[in-house]
Amino acid sequence: MSQHDLVVIGAGPGGYVAAIRAAQLGLNVACVERENALGGTCLRVGCIPSKALLEASELYRMAQSHLSEFGVTVEGVKLDVPKMMGRKDQIVSTLTKGIDGLFRKNKITRYTGHGRIPAPGRVQVDGPKPVELIAKNILIATGSVSAPLKGVEIDGNLIGTSTEALAYPEVPGHLVVIGAGVIGLELGCVWARLGSKVTVLEYLNRILPGMDTEIANEAQRMLKKQGLDFKLGMRVTGARVVDGRCVVECEGQPSIDCDRVLLAVGRLPNTGDLGLDALNVARTNRGFIQVDRHFQTSIPGIYAIGDAIPGPMLAHKAEEEGVACAEGLAGKYCHVNYDAIPGVVYTDPEIASVGKTEEQLKDGGIPYKVGSFPFMANGRAKALGQTEGRVKILAHAETDRILGVHIIGPRAGDLIAEAVIAIECGASSEDIARSSHAHPTLSEAIKEAAFAVDRRAIHM
Ligand code: FAD
Ligand code: NAD
């Protein structure tokens, strides 16, 4: 029986980062992963392949209709879906092999197989070479799976989840997306750009729940212009394949005939089949593992992080928790600032946010000021030909401390980093307004929005 200081179950961004950090801190670490490729949902069937397709499909759209605006004429633009998919697969393969290399470099022992916890301090690995491990500490980082929807018959082909939508062999004529959340919008945009008619069915009367409402409404207007057909307030009651076509049923509406269906109504923690019931590990009613501020579960010596515990289901949130948990196990300070975790939707334009939304401030009775600045008035955005959107800063009305930043516009996902640091450091809008921002850059829109908090934007 092999003995380790820490056995991590799951090699996604939570698990592999925790394993590396713990090894750096001198712990003897093993990681159990049931897939051959390391990297989890994020690297294999999530963040990375979706961004590869978003970039490729955006280039196709640019070449088709927007390059001519720059005085660049491209004729005979053709789409090669297999090549696009091949490039995506190559990126995934390079990155997942990179994690193998990092494991070797950090002397992390890898076990391939399904991990289960028969008792505290023990991990059973069922795989090609079954083995039982003895562990001083166990970290559950088993991630999440797509949530099913009653009546929607997933066949893993025509009716599927994001995993299928990342690998359609050809452009569907008509794609119905169930759920106007992050996955629905990102993958809906990929296929709309490549030529599909895309209908998005959303249960609520808005898209992107949880995002600042004003920004989400602006996003809806922009994405509608790009061809996404939003049907809000729709209760989907069923979807099935009939004679090679898909039929989607919604309460009180005529059924919709389409080529493919993408179900994207959220994700659920992947915490079944780990032996948690027998151990009595406390979970929420939705199956998320409950942890204390050191990520310890209700059973001493068993920890959990990432999508398997409550909180935003984001790769960088899982990574922060992985580092904090590993440092805690090594006797260091263990802390994650959940107020400073950004969220990005990689549509065009991108949508990014950190901190509180305007609705949260209103609900909490927190007095605030708003500064807003449009990319239309930003020189670099003009040069890029991407002037839609704006930066919105929410600052405390009395202390001026930045409480939330919401950006819809070009490279919003990169720009938000400045706002994350501002929130992390407790900065005021005055701090940003007084900091020099290089000209001409998109980041000047953040500086101007900070000026706008006190009604003194220069270029508006
Ligand atoms: P996971 O990445 O899910 O990893 C868990 C790992 O555990 C898996 O490899 C799994 O095989 C393994 N495992 C599970 N059970 C066992 C077991 N019993 N034994 C052994 N191994 C096991 N987030 C972002 O921040 N940015 C994005 O752009 C983004 N895009 C996304 C796009 C899509 C299409 C999807 C589906 C998700 C996206 N996410 C994105 C979310 C992100 O992928 C997750 O938040 C992140 O992967 C969670 O990390 P994790 O380590 O908790 O779990
Ligand atoms: P989501 O929670 O973002 O969106 C689900 C949407 O489905 C919501 O708008 C919800 O109202 C809607 N919905 C729920 N039930 C419905 C029903 N019966 N009919 C119609 N609509 C219904 O979930 P997702 O898009 O599946 O993404 C899952 C997770 O993956 C998210 O938590 C997200 O954080 C993560 N993710 C992140 C990124 C990113 O960071 N860029 C990208 C993809 C996924």
Ligand 2 neighbourhood includes 306 CB (under 6 angstroms):
no
- Report if residue 457 sits inside a domain: no
447: domain CATH number is 3.30.390.30
Which has the closest alpha carbon to 310: 331, 330, 332, 336? 336
Instruction: Give residue 408's domain range.
Output: 340-452
Residue 18 belongs to some domain of the structure = yes
Pairing state of beta strands 402-409 and 350-355?
Answer: antiparallel
For residues 136 and 22, state if they share a domain: yes
Report strand pairing: 350-355 vs 343-345. Answer: antiparallel
Residues 379-432 pLDDT 10s: 999 999 999 999 999 999 999 999 999 999 999 999 999 999 999 999 999 999
For residue 306, the ligand closest to its alpha carbon is: 1
CB of 148 within 8 A of CB of 266?
A: no
Ligand closest to Cα of 177 equals 2
- Which residues neighbour 5 within 8 Å (Cβ) at sequence distance 6 or greater? 22, 27, 28, 29, 135, 136, 137, 329
Domain co-membership, 181 together with 217 = yes
Mean pLDDT, the chain cut into blocks of 10 residues (460 residues total): 94 98 98 98 98 98 92 95 98 98 98 97 94 98 98 97 98 98 98 98 97 98 97 98 97 97 98 96 96 98 98 98 98 96 98 98 98 98 97 98 98 98 98 98 98 94
**Do 364 and 396 lie in a common domain?**
yes
Q: Are residues 224 and 327 in the same domain?
A: no
User: What pLDDT score was predicted for residue 128?
Assistant: 84
Catalytic, 459? Answer: no
In a domain, 213, yes or no: yes
Q: For residue 115, what are the contacts with CB-CB under 8 A and spacing of at least 6?
A: 7, 9, 10, 32, 34, 123, 124, 125, 142, 274
The structural domain count of the chain equals 3
Buried b (16+ CB within 10 A) or exposed e, 336-359: beeebbbbbbbbbbbbbbbbbbbe
The residue whose CA is least distant from atom 6 of ligand 1 is: 10
Asked whether residue 13 falls in the same domain as residue 120, the answer is yes
Q: What is the DSSP string of 391-409?
A: EEEEEETTT-BEEEEEEEE
Residue 313 Cβ contacting ligand 2 at under 6 Å: yes
Q: Let me know whether 119 and 230 are in one domain.
A: no
Query: What does the DSSP 8-state code read for residue 75?
Result: -
3-state helix, strand, coil split of the chain in percent (to 5) is 35, 25, 40
Tell me: do 188 and 316 sit in the same domain. no
**Residue partners of 386: CB distance under 8 A and separation at least 6:** 349, 375, 409, 410
The reply to whether 208 falls in a domain is: yes
What is residue 65's predicted lDDT score, i.e. its pLDDT?
A: 85
Q: 310 and 261, same structural domain? A: no
Strand, coil or helix: what is 191? helix
CATH, residue 86 = 3.50.50.60
* 305 Cα: distance to centroid of ligand 2 (angstroms): 20
Q: Is the pTM of this model over 0.75?
A: yes
Q: Is there a single domain that holds both residue 330 and residue 347?
A: no
In terms of domains, do 320 and 371 share one? no
Domain match, 330 and 344 both: no
Pocket of ligand 2 contains residue 209 by CB under 6 Å: yes
Q: Which atom of ligand 2 is nearest to the CA of 208?
A: 9
What pLDDT was estimated at residue 45? 98
Residue nearest to atom 28 of ligand 1 (CA): 47
Phi, psi dihedral angles at 116 (to 5 degrees):
-145, 155
State the closest ligand 1 atom to the C-alpha of 307, by its place in the atom list counted from 1. 52
User: Is the CB–ligand 2 distance for residue 265 below 6 Å?
Assistant: yes
Answer with the one of 226, 244, 265 that is the final residue of a domain: 265
Listed residues 265, 282, 314: the one ending a domain = 265
Distance from residue 81's CA to the centre of ligand 2 (Å): 26
Query: Which mutation among 182, 202, 232 tests ligand 2's pocket best, with the greatest number of atoms within 8 A of CB?
Result: 182
Ligand 1, atom nearest to 305 Cα: 52
Token pair in block for residue 69 = 């605006």
Indicate if 362 and 432 belong to the same structural domain: yes
Task: Tell how far the Cα of 161 is from the centroid of ligand 1, in angstroms.
Answer: 14
What pLDDT sits at residue 118? 97
